[in-house]
């Protein structure tokens, strides 16, 4: 818990003054503690979308939206993306510090040995239509994990919380890959313990029993970097959903399923799929002005997916790194002149100069370039958000564990500004007009 600052905030209301404690943060804005406001002043605060509300204490991720900075446990994302790898970042997010060799090896072994799913789960997939969106399948299968792993659903048992955490991080790639295989009518491919995390996901998605499959190291490195960049992001919509579900004591698998459901929305994790579809719809550089015009038009519901962010009012630092990866992957594939990359770069250049985007401080976010890489790796657009969910599972789990360990934690239960009818008497249908 951060120390309460000496000064406080004074609220003057209806002729009375209320002193509200101010807590300092180790980085970023101080917070005004309003926990007793309703009790003392009989008023609620009002903040639709929680634009100015801190919902919790957290030491996992810090975002400086004004300056486009992102820290995982204090380490800048661009340093981790270039020097670390996903499972090391998972360890950092879960336990707070970078592991030594022995700790990392133990963690990687524990995760690797939990990558298979219960064989009965295969039958659950058979109940879906082949054209089901992989996010629909992931929602259902992850939620069903609590029907299989009863020995890791007691959230009050630290050991069960740890086992559930490892199981969730280990199995989410297998579940996502199985959803992909099911959608294309190919047999499921089992995980392999002699592959690293990203390589395992690639072989589960793209290998077939009919021939040997060799993972391309450029591809697995690019995918591992995408996993790292999407691992956590403070109290975003899906993480807040996981925390809220967890605050009732729901089991971790149900909480992650709730997070997957929220991430699916096009305003959130679904933006990477929507963004690539828009880039394809634009098709050529000469059609960009037409779409910029639509994005500027408030009467047009069209938004330029992959642009804008609730917190970043500067360049999303993840977008910078992903843009480099997109160049590397397409350069390696010899498709650097791919029209879609040209459209993306020209769209970014124009948008960053456009007064509407400048005035509203709309910059490319993490979803703007990720779809270009994922498509180059061979994934269909329907797999983009499942890959985001796969990456974010460690962040959801780390935040869920932190929430449960927080001494001031209680069930999340916001209030409302009621705008409905006052009390009125029931009227029998025979007396109604
Ligand atoms: C993610 O929160 C996180 O951390 C999320 C995330 C994570 O890692 O978890 O970073 C991942 O979700 C990234 C964002 C992906 N979404 C998109 O790319 C979808 C397109 N972007 C927008 O929908 C929007 O920018 C949001 C949802 C991301 C943020 O919306 P806000 O903060 O609620 O801001 P807003 O919608 O109020 O927009 C402010 C203004 C509005 O205009 P006015 O009403 O003031 O006239 O900017 C406009 C918006 O119309 N605007 C856009 C726009 N985004 C905002 N106009 C055109 N195109 C856009 N993309």
Whether 268 is in the pocket of ligand 1, judged by its Cβ within 6 Å, is: yes
Whether 178 is in the pocket of ligand 1, judged by its Cβ within 6 Å, is: no
Whether 386 is in the pocket of ligand 1, judged by its Cβ within 6 Å, is: no
How many C-beta neighbours within 10 Å does residue 186 have?
15
How many C-beta neighbours within 10 Å does residue 329 have?
25
> CB neighbours of 18 closer than 8 A, spacing ≥ 6?
10, 11, 12, 37, 40, 41
How much is the pLDDT for 22? 96
**pLDDT band at 5, cuts 50/70/90?**
low
Task: For residue range 57-91, list pLDDT tens digits in order.
Answer: 999 999 999 999 999 999 999 999 999 999 999 99
150 counts as catalytic: no
Which two structure tokens, joined as six digits, stand for 7? Answer: 């000064």
> CB neighbours of 105 closer than 8 A, spacing ≥ 6?
none
Q: Where are the alpha helices (DSSP H) in 70-206?
A: 77-83, 86-95, 101-112, 121-126, 134-144, 158-183, 197-206
Whether 354 is in the pocket of ligand 1, judged by its Cβ within 6 Å, is: no
How far is ligand 1, taken at its centre, from the CA of residue 305, in Å? 8
**pLDDT band at 314, cuts 50/70/90?**
confident
| Rounded-to-integer distance, Cα 233 and Cα 240, Å | 11
Task: For residue range 159-200, list pLDDT tens digits in order.
Answer: 999 999 999 999 999 999 999 999 999 999 999 999 999 999
213 has a pLDDT exceeding 60: yes
How far is ligand 1, taken at its centre, from the CA of residue 318, in Å? 16
Whether 294 is in the pocket of ligand 1, judged by its Cβ within 6 Å, is: no
Q: Which residue has the higher pLDDT, 4 or 305?
A: 305
How much is the pLDDT for 341? 84
Cα end-to-end distance, the chain, whole Å = 59
Whether 322 is in the pocket of ligand 1, judged by its Cβ within 6 Å, is: no
How far is ligand 1, taken at its centre, from the CA of residue 312, in Å? 10
| Rounded-to-integer distance, Cα 273 and Cα 295, Å | 18
Poorest-pLDDT segment among 6-10, 251-255, 265-269, 309-313: 6-10
Question: Mean per-residue pLDDT for 394-399?
Answer: 98
Specify which of 127-131, 311-315, 368-372 reaches the highest per-range mean pLDDT. 127-131
Share of the chain above pLDDT 90, in %: 83
How much is the pLDDT for 78? 96
227 has a pLDDT exceeding 60: yes
Nearest partner of 203 among 184, 189, 187, judged by Cα: 189
The pTM assigned to this predicted structure is 0.94
Q: Which atom of ligand 1 is nearest to the CA of 238?
A: 9
Q: Which atom of ligand 1 is nearest to the CA of 234?
A: 4
The CA-atom distances, in angstroms, between 417 and each of 35, 43, 46, 47, 53 are: 17, 10, 7, 10, 16
Task: For residue range 133-157, list pLDDT tens digits in order.
Answer: 999 999 999 999 999 988 888 888 9
Quick one: how far is CA 259 from the chain centroid?
Answer: 8
Nearest CA to ligand 1 atom 24: 308
415 has a pLDDT exceeding 60: yes
How far is ligand 1, taken at its centre, from the CA of residue 171, in Å? 31
| Rounded-to-integer distance, Cα 397 and Cα 251, Å | 11
> CB neighbours of 90 closer than 8 A, spacing ≥ 6?
107, 111, 169, 231, 394
Dihedral sign, Cα of residue 231, residue 192, residue 369, residue 132 = negative
Nearest CA to ligand 1 atom 16: 267
256 has a pLDDT exceeding 90: yes
The CA-atom distances, in angstroms, between 243 and each of 30, 75, 90, 167, 199 are: 22, 23, 18, 19, 30
CB 253 within 8 A of CB 164: yes
101 has a pLDDT exceeding 60: yes
Task: For residue range 17-68, list pLDDT tens digits in order.
Answer: 999 999 999 999 999 999 999 999 999 999 999 999 999 999 999 999 999 9
Poorest-pLDDT segment among 164-178, 190-204, 322-336, 366-380: 322-336
367 counts as catalytic: yes
| Rounded-to-integer distance, Cα 166 and Cα 113, Å | 10
| Rounded-to-integer distance, Cα 425 and Cα 421, Å | 11
| Rounded-to-integer distance, Cα 307 and Cα 278, Å | 12
1 has a pLDDT exceeding 70: no
Return the ∠ at Cα 269 (arms to 121 and 220), rounded to 5°: 70
| Rounded-to-integer distance, Cα 306 and Cα 319, Å | 10
User: What's the half-sphere exposure (Cβ side, CA atoms, 13 Å) at 270?
Assistant: 14
How much is the pLDDT for 336? 74
Poorest-pLDDT segment among 69-78, 89-98, 250-259, 330-339: 330-339
Question: Mean per-residue pLDDT for 330-357?
Answer: 87
Q: Which of 232, 305, 309 to mutate to test the pocket of ligand 1 (most atoms within 8 A of CB)?
A: 309
CB 266 within 8 A of CB 305: yes
Whether 360 is in the pocket of ligand 1, judged by its Cβ within 6 Å, is: yes
Question: Mean per-residue pLDDT for 226-255?
Answer: 97
């Amino acid at each position: 818990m951060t120390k309460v600052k000496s000064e406080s905030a004074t609220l003057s209301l209806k002729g009375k003054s209320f002193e509200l404690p101010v807590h300092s943060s180790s980085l970023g804005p101080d917070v005004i503690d309003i926990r007793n406001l309703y009790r003392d002043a009989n008023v609620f605060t009002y903040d639709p979308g929680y634009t100015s509300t801190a919902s919790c204490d957290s030491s996992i991720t810090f975002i400086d939206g004004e300056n486009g900075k992102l820290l995982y446990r204090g380490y800048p994302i661009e340093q981790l993306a270039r020097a670390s790898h996903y499972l090391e970042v998972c360890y950092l997010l879960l336990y707070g510090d970078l592991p030594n060799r022995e700790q990392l090896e133990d963690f990687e072994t524990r995760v690797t040995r939990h990558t298979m799913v219960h064989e009965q789960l295969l039958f659950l997939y058979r109940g879906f239509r082949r054209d089901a969106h992989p996010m629909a399948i992931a929602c259902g299968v992850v939620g069903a994990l609590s029907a299989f792993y009863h020995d890791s659903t007691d959230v009050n048992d630290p050991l069960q919380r740890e086992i559930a955490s490892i199981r969730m991080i280990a199995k989410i790639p297998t579940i996502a890959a199985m959803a992909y295989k099911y959608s294309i009518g190919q047999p499921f491919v089992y995980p392999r313990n002699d592959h690293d995390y990203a390589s395992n996901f690639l072989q589960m998605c793209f290998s077939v029993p009919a021939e040997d499959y060799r993972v391309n190291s450029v591809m697995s490195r690019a995918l591992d970097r995408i996993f790292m960049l999407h691992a956590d992001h403070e109290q975003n919509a899906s993480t807040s959903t996981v925390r809220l579900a967890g605050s009732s004591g729901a089991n971790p698998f149900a909480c992650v399923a709730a997070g997957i459901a929220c991430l699916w929305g096009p305003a959130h994790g679904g933006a990477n799929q929507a963004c690539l579809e828009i880039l394809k719809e634009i098709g050529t550089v000469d059609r960009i002005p037409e779409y910029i015009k639509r994005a500027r038009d408030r009467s047009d519901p069209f938004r330029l997916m992959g642009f804008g962010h609730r917190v970043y009012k500067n360049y999303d630092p993840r977008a910078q790194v992903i843009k480099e990866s997109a160049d590397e992957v397409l350069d390696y594939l010899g498709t650097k002149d791919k029209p879609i990359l040209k459209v993306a770069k020209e769209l970014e250049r124009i948008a960053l100069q456009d007064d509407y985007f400048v005035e509203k401080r709309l910059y490319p976010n993490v979803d703007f370039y990720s779809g270009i890489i994922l498509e180059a790796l061979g994934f269909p657009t329907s797999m983009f958000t499942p890959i985001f969910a796969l990456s974010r599972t460690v962040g959801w789990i780390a935040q869920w564990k932190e929430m449960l360990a927080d001494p001031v934690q209680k069930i999340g239960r916001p209030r409302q500004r009621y705008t409905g009818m006052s009390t009125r008497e029931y009227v029998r249908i025979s007396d109604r007009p």
